[in-house]
């Protein structure tokens, strides 16, 4: 493990040292935000190593944290772009996104982001945005879980506002069918292919019984080739306990803390935990075809996941111009 983490750090430093000058510009509502590789190489060269160090500690203390940090980035980017609005706390005069249905009692890892931000503010005040921290921490979480690495484009700004309504409406739900998933991804500029690749993030993490109740309480046809009765019965037994409101199940019961292609193997075996997961194999010929490709060729999944993460991470839409938050929980 120590050798693996050492290799991760060497890989990270090589990325920083030989960062590309390629840029990605987005102009939304008259505001141009330029993302580029290696942005902090001169202004805050320790930025990415600091983030990696904190994520490494967090994942070492709690392997589930890798999935949680990756999920924070997803839920941020699906609401008006990757602008760290998901991190803002409610105040007497401000309603954030943390109490939206997809986030309440579900998102976690905020204290890890707080620690990273405090360390970065000490090393290089008001240089690294909270939105960039989320993007880098998501990448590092995948790497530390055995998945692929990629160079993260940087330069996002932190939002001065948030939208609980958009969080409720934009973030795909656990019971979504394929047309709904495709629509929600397309609404933010992501394709069906991106949707299937990014769904592979569910190869890590856990979910509450309430999020997959439709899988175990629905009218499942026992004669359907896509129904795995033994798997569903195991879930029913798990969620029949008195504390089922807080009971958690692994999204990937085979390799729950590893970033691999097992999620897709599970789906083809009828062992997708969420209805939205299992639906990818049963609700659309194209999504099933992609899943089969990822089962046969894990490297194809890794490559597509990296590209789709970069595409999602480039969704920047801070209409007011944004800022660099000193504290990720509040505007300056």
Binding residues: 76, 79, 81, 83, 85, 97, 172, 202-203, 252, 255, 260
DSSP type of residue 89:
P
The mean per-residue pLDDT over the stretch 31-39 comes to 81
161 phi and psi angles, rounded to 5 deg: -145, 180
For residue range 144-154, what is the model confidence (pLDDT) as tens digits?
A: 999 999 999 99
For residue range 74-112, what is the model confidence (pLDDT) as tens digits?
A: 999 999 999 999 999 999 999 999 999 999 989 999 999
Q: Where are the beta strands (DSSP E) in 92-225?
A: 206-208
pLDDT value at 225 more than 60? no
- Inter-axis angle of helices 192-199 and 298-313, to 10 degrees? 110
- Looking at the chain, the whole-number percentage of residues with pLDDT higher than 90 is 80
Binding residues for heme b: 202
Residues annotated catalytic, as ranges: 75
The mean per-residue pLDDT over the stretch 289-303 comes to 98
- Separation between Cα atoms, residue 175 and residue 276, nearest integer Å: 5
- Separation between Cα atoms, residue 164 and residue 318, nearest integer Å: 16
- Separation between Cα atoms, residue 152 and residue 82, nearest integer Å: 13
DSSP type of residue 218:
S
pLDDT value at 28 more than 60? no
Q: Label residue 15 by pLDDT band (50, 70, 90).
A: very low
The mean per-residue pLDDT over the stretch 198-206 comes to 97
What's the confidence (pLDDT) of residue 227?
Answer: 79
pLDDT value at 217 more than 90? no
pLDDT value at 19 more than 50? no
pLDDT value at 46 more than 70? yes
pLDDT value at 30 more than 70? no
Binding residues for Ca(2+): 76, 79, 81, 83, 85, 97, 203, 252, 255, 260
Q: How far apart are the first and last CA of the chain?
A: 40
- Separation between Cα atoms, residue 79 and residue 272, nearest integer Å: 26
The mean per-residue pLDDT over the stretch 308-332 comes to 88
For residue range 172-201, what is the model confidence (pLDDT) as tens digits?
A: 999 999 999 999 999 999 999 999 999 999
What's the confidence (pLDDT) of residue 33?
Answer: 72
- Separation between Cα atoms, residue 73 and residue 258, nearest integer Å: 18
pTM, rounded to two decimals: 0.89
The mean per-residue pLDDT over the stretch 275-297 comes to 95
Binding residues for substrate: 172
The mean per-residue pLDDT over the stretch 295-319 comes to 92
Please enumerate in sequence order all residues whose Cβ is within 8 A of that of 33, keeping only pairs 6 or more positions apart, or say none.
25, 26, 27, 155, 156, 157, 316, 318, 322
What's the confidence (pLDDT) of residue 191?
Answer: 98
Joined together, the tokens standing for residue 123 give 């090393």
The mean per-residue pLDDT over the stretch 118-134 comes to 97
Q: What does pLDDT average to over the chain? A: 89
- Separation between Cα atoms, residue 5 and residue 53, nearest integer Å: 10
The mean per-residue pLDDT over the stretch 298-322 comes to 89
The mean per-residue pLDDT over the stretch 295-316 comes to 97
- What three-state secondary structure class fits 240? coil
pLDDT value at 318 more than 70? no
Q: Which H or E run includes 35?
A: strand 31-36
- Looking at the chain, the whole-number percentage of residues with pLDDT higher than 70 is 86
The mean per-residue pLDDT over the stretch 256-282 comes to 96
- Separation between Cα atoms, residue 33 and residue 251, nearest integer Å: 35
The sign of the CA dihedral 304, 23, 83, 190 is: negative
């Amino acid at each position: 493990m120590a050798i693996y983490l050492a290799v991760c750090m060497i890989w990270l430093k090589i990325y920083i040292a030989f960062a590309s000058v390629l840029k990605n510009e987005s102009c939304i509502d008259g505001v141009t935000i330029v993302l580029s590789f290696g942005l902090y190489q001169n202004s805050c060269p320790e930025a990415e190593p600091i983030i990696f160090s904190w994520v490494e500690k967090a994942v070492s203390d709690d392997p589930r944290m890798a999935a949680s940090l990756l999920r924070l980035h997803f839920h941020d980017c699906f609401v008006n772009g990757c602008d760290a609005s998901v991190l803002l706390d409610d105040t007497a005069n401000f309603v954030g996104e943390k109490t939206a249905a997809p986030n309440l009692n579900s998102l976690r890892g905020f204290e890890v982001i707080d620690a990273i931000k405090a360390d970065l503010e000490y090393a290089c005040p008001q240089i690294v945005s909270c939105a960039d921290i989320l993007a880098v921490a998501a990448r590092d979480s995948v790497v530390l879980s055995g998945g692929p690495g990629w160079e993260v484009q940087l330069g996002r700004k932190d939002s001065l506002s948030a939208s609980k309504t958009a969080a409720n409406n934009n973030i795909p739900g656990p019971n979504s069918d394929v047309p709904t998933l495709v629509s929600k991804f397309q609404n933010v500029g992501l394709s069906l292919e991106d949707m299937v690749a990014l769904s592979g993030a569910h190869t890590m993490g856990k979910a509450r019984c309430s999020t997959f109740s439709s899988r175990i309480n629905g009218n499942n046809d026992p004669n359907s080739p896509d129904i795995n009765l033994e798997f569903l019965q195991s879930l029913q037994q798990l969620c029949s306990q008195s504390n089922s409101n807080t009971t958690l199940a692994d999204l990937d019961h085979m390799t729950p803390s590893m970033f691999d292609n097992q999620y897709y193997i599970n789906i083809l075996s009828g062992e997708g935990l969420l209805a939205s997961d299992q639906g990818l194999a049963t609700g659309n010929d194209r999504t099933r075809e992609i899943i089969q490709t990822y089962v046969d060729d894990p490297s194809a999944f890794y490559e597509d996941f990296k590209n789709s993460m970069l595409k999602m991470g480039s969704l920047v839409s801070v209409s007011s111009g944004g800022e660099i938050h000193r504290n990720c929980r509040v505007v300056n």
